[in-house]
Amino acid sequence: MNRIDSFLELVTQQDGSDLHLVSGEPPRIRIHGALHGVRFRVLSTDDLERILDEILNESLKERFVSTRAVDFAYESADGRFRVHAYHHHRGIGAALRPIPREVPGFDQLGLPPAIQSVIGHRKGLTLVTGPTGSGKSTTLAAMVDSINVSTHGHIVTIEDPIEFIHDYKQCVISQREIGDHSPNFAEALRGAVREDPDLIMVGELRDQESISQALTAAEAGIQVLGTLHTRGATGTIDRIVNVFPEKQQELIRHMLADGLRMIVSQRLVPTADHSRRIPAVEILINTSAAATMIRTGQSHKLMTVIQSGRRSGMQSLDGSLKDLMQRKVITAEAAYEHALDRTQFERYLVRMEAA
């Protein structure tokens, strides 16, 4: 049993979402969004070096020394964990996140049914966006699993590291890890297009080259799923376009207008009883109206498209938060904290204070 396993057992027992081991501090576990200390002594740099020495293979050790940080997956008796180990000014740190053994379904995650309906279409780019820790990877895994059980084809996943392990169901699945199987996302995407894929899932679109490769693959008729660290549909379109030089931006807007299928933007919000976190979700489906706004550089008008597209399954993040709040699933304070436009939630806070 490795030294880290006892901490991971504690994370699992307490339904934690993250474990933080940082030299100069005691261990901490994030539970329903808040960090809680573990009753343990302060960890030293030597402690972290011994812990990592047990779980890093030789290749990862070399990478950790040369790049000063490394991502990988670790499996213990308590499950599979995504690990990011890094150096900081007081020594070494590591953040570990549990990966469920089974891929959760859309209903289990509390995701709107429109998402599953849209990804049933076999072409185009679907983006899942949101801040770190908002459940993007889990949503992507649910999308992949849904396609895996409902179609016959070849799925290629490109991840850093591989998180959920997908079994062959109706599809053949090739899971590739950055570092071990390809040097970077852009190179892996370039190769994946030549592997006769029906679906390419990209763990993260990090830069201009990987975004360009994803758009090109979608334009070629391949279904592409990917993530970005952006806020809302409008922010996602602007981020993609602005990654490129100005002389290329008109072309990128046209590629997006033609190739985009859907943007899912989500946040994980604590429930009113603080027993768990649930997703508040914004959905933009690329209708002809949305495509026109994207093509003509009027992404600021996409919220109007979302608000008028409820019948087709679209919804705004703030609308999702308001619905959860009115059903008393989350509090007004939580809705206010996570809203894009907080002003519309202020009156609910005033009512609560008056009560």
Query: Which mean pLDDT values do the consecutive 10-residue runs of the chain (355 residues) have?
Result: 92 95 97 92 96 95 95 92 96 96 93 94 93 93 96 96 94 94 92 96 93 94 95 92 97 97 96 93 97 96 95 95 95 94 86 57
**Paired residues of 18 in beta bridges:** 30
pLDDT for 353 equals 56
Sign of the CA dihedral running 226, 227, 228, 231: positive
Q: Among the residues of the chain, which ranges form H helices?
A: 5-13, 45-55, 58-67, 106-109, 113-119, 136-150, 185-192, 208-219, 232-242, 246-259, 288-295, 302-307, 317-326, 332-338, 346-354
pLDDT for 318 equals 95
Cβ(200)–Cβ(156) below 8 Å: yes
Cβ(19)–Cβ(106) below 8 Å: no
Pairing of strands 154-159, 172-177: parallel
Instruction: Determine the 3-state secondary structure of 44 from DSSP.
Output: coil
Pairing of strands 69-76, 79-88: antiparallel
CA nearest to 201, candidates 232, 175, 240, 233:
175
Cβ(122)–Cβ(151) below 8 Å: yes
User: Within 13 A of 339's CA, how many CA atoms are on the CB side?
Assistant: 22
pLDDT for 179 equals 86
pLDDT for 121 equals 85
pTM: 0.91
Residue type, 283: I
pLDDT for 113 equals 94
Cβ(129)–Cβ(227) below 8 Å: yes
